[in-house]
């Protein structure tokens, strides 16, 4: 089971409370959060852990404002991390349970039973494992055949490297013997866990539509690309260089899918840039959303870095930042869920900020 840590919870709270990460730290009772998370780790199954998390956060009230909504959002994130969904309808029953917990009439056991009755699991399939293995093997090929000797690529995050592998697969699927900006765009889109993919999806830019436009603009290839890594076009390499320059300009050191997408947008004459321009109502809005998410990540990392600076080993600091990056990526997926949760509560006459 994957457990949430303190900064996972704070990242969700920042989304719900609509504030910067440093603000949410000041507005939260960190000791109360830690107590709840300690209790959660003492439980057994997913329903028991989620119940303890929900009841604990409602009882402890560690957040300054919208405590109940934050508690529900944190639980949604927790079950999502463990490949499950929690059904909230009818929301009146959720609100009734929260009232009972607040009044001391319900505890962890009742919350766990409530969660168990609404939990939908999504087990890992053999296809998931095969796809994961395929990506790992392809990534090794790309690193060995294409990136060898170039230190820039050492700064590509795991997700950015997966985008490259997916771009290679997209090129292969279209029988193209090169990887261009259009394939990088498809790689970003098909890595659905990334911030960049969700930004594009929110604007209706999907892989099937993009593939159709790629075929319309450049056509399908006439020969199989064969095994091994497919070479990048000069424009694609320029995207990598732009992404790396963007990262350095921000004082960071890891290239993510969002930086690669900024690189595709920067080259408006490339096929990838042309396609986004055609599909998006406002390309500047795409950039604005990406910039917003990148900035939020940077500020969240800085909060962790300040606290981690007191630690004695670089390894522990690096591990915490790596964990936070993974959680931030997961929490981007929660962004739309939080908005839906607020709307759902309002439709039922419940103030989400109470």
For 85, the 3-state DSSP assignment is strand
Integer CA distances (angstroms), 182 to 139, 189, 286, in order: 19, 11, 17
- Mean pLDDT, rounded, for 194-211: 89
Q: In angstroms, how far apart are the furthest CA atoms of the chain?
A: 70
Q: Do 173 and 266 have their domain in common?
A: yes
Query: Tokens for 194?
Result: 């990334």
Residues 147 and 23: their CA atoms lie apart, in Å, by 40
**Angstrom distance (rounded) from CA 73 to CA 76:** 5
Q: Are residues 100 and 139 in the same domain?
A: no
| 63, 27 contact by CB (below 8 A) | yes
Domain count for the chain, please give it: 2
Taking only the tens place, the pLDDT of each residue in 27-64 is 889 899 999 999 999 998 999 999 999 999 999 999 87
Find where tokens 């910039």 sit: 291
246 pLDDT more than 80: yes
Which residues contact residue 128 at a Cβ distance below 8 angstroms, ignoring those fewer than 6 apart?
none
Residues 96 and 172 reside in one and the same domain: no
Lowest mean pLDDT among 36-40, 141-145, 193-197, 257-261: 141-145
CB crowding 307-326: b at 16 or more within 10 Å, else e:
ebeeeeeeeebeebbeebbb
Three-state DSSP class for 86?
Answer: strand
User: Do 102 and 143 share a domain, yes or no?
Assistant: no
For 151, which DSSP code? G
Q: Report if residue 304 sits inside a domain.
A: yes
Residues 260, 160 contacting (CB under 8 angstroms)? yes
Residue 295's domain comprises 126-310
Residue 224 inside a domain? The answer is yes
In this structure, are residues 345 and 353 in contact, taking their beta carbons and an 8 Å threshold?
A: no
Flag whether 43 is in a domain.
yes
Chain segment 227-238, per-residue pLDDT in tens: 567 888 999 999
**Can you give the pLDDT at residue 139?**
56
Q: How confident is the model at residue 131 (pLDDT cuts 50, 70, 90)?
A: low
Mean pLDDT, rounded, for 260-270: 93
User: Is the pLDDT score of 294 beyond 80?
Assistant: no
> Which of residues 18 and 322 earns the better pLDDT score?
18
Q: Which residues contact 159 (CB under 8 A, 6 or more apart)?
A: 191, 193, 194, 256, 257, 329
Residue 82 in 3-state DSSP? coil
Distance, in Å, from the CA atom of 235 to the CA atom of 166, rounded to the nearest integer, reads: 17
Do 131 and 268 reside in the same domain of the chain?
yes
What SS3 class is residue 206?
A: coil
| Residue recorded with tokens 């929260």 | 98
Task: Let me know if residue 62 belongs to a domain.
Answer: yes
198 and 341 in one domain?
no
For residue 325, being part of any structural domain is answered with no
Same-domain status, 161 and 265: yes
Instruction: Decide if 39 is inside a domain.
Output: yes
Do residue 187 and residue 301 come from a single domain? Answer: yes
* Secondary element (H or E) of residue 176: none
Question: Which domain CATH number covers 105?
Answer: 1.20.120.1870
CATH number of domain containing 165: 1.10.1780.10
State the average pLDDT over residues 330-345: 58
Nearest to 159 by CA among 134, 133, 186, 194: 194
* Sign of the Cα pseudo-torsion (78, 162, 152, 234, in order): negative
In a domain, 320, yes or no: no
Residues 304 and 163 both lie in one domain: yes
Residue 128 has pLDDT above 60, yes or no: no
Say if 328 falls within a structural domain. Answer: no
Question: How buried is 155 (Cβ within 10 angstroms: 0-12 exposed, 13-18 middle, 19+ buried)?
Answer: middle
Q: Give phi and psi for 86, each to the nearest 5.
A: -120, 120
Q: Answer yes or no: do 116 and 133 share one domain.
A: no
> Do 110 and 202 fall within a single domain?
no
| Cβ–Cβ < 8 Å for 69, 91 | no
Does the CA dihedral 127-130-131-132 come out positive or negative? positive
Q: pLDDT at residue 339 above 70?
A: no
Predicted confidence band of residue 337 (pLDDT cuts 50, 70, 90) = low
For residue 80, give both structure tokens. Answer: 């999502």
Instruction: Say if residue 97 is in the same domain as residue 140.
Output: no
């Amino acid at each position: 089971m994957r457990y949430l840590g303190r900064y996972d919870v704070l990242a969700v709270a920042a989304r719900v409370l609509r504030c910067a990460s440093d603000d949410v730290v000041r507005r939260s009772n960190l000791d109360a959060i830690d107590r709840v998370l300690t209790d959660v780790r003492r439980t057994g199954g997913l329903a028991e852990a989620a119940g303890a998390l929900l009841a604990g956060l409602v009882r402890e009230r560690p957040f300054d404002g919208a405590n109940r909504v934050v508690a529900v959002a944190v639980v949604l994130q927790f079950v999502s991390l463990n490949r499950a969904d929690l059904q909230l309808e009818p929301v009146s029953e959720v609100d009734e349970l929260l009232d009972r917990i607040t009044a001391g009439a319900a505890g962890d056991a009742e919350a766990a039973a409530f969660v168990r009755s609404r939990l939908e699991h999504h087990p890992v399939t053999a296809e998931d494992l095969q796809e994961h293995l395929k990506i790992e093997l392809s990534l090794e090929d790309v690193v060995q055949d294409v990136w060898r000797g170039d230190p820039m690529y050492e700064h590509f995050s795991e997700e950015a490297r997966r985008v490259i592998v997916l771009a290679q697969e997209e090129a292969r699927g279209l029988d193209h013997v090169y990887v261009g900006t259009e394939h990088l765009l498809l790689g970003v889109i098909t890595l659905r866990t990334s911030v960049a993919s969700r930004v594009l999806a929110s604007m209706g830019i999907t892989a099937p539509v993009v593939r159709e436009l790629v075929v319309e603009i450049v056509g399908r290839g006439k020969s199989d690309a064969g095994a091994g890594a497919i070479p990048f076009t000069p424009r694609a390499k320029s995207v990598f260089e732009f992404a790396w320059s963007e990262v350095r300009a921000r004082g960071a050191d890891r290239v993510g899918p969002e930086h690669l997408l900024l690189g595709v947008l920067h080259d408006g004459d490339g096929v990838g840039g042309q396609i986004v321009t055609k599909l998006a109502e406002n390309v500047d809005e795409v950039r604005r959303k990406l910039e917003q998410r990148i900035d939020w990540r940077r500020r969240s990392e800085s909060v962790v870095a300040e606290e981690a600076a007191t630690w004695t080993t670089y390894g522990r600091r690096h591990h915490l930042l790596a964990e936070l990056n993974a959680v931030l990526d997961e929490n981007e997926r929660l962004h739309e869920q939080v908005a839906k949760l607020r709307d759902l509560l309002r439709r039922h006459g419940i103030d989400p900020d109470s």
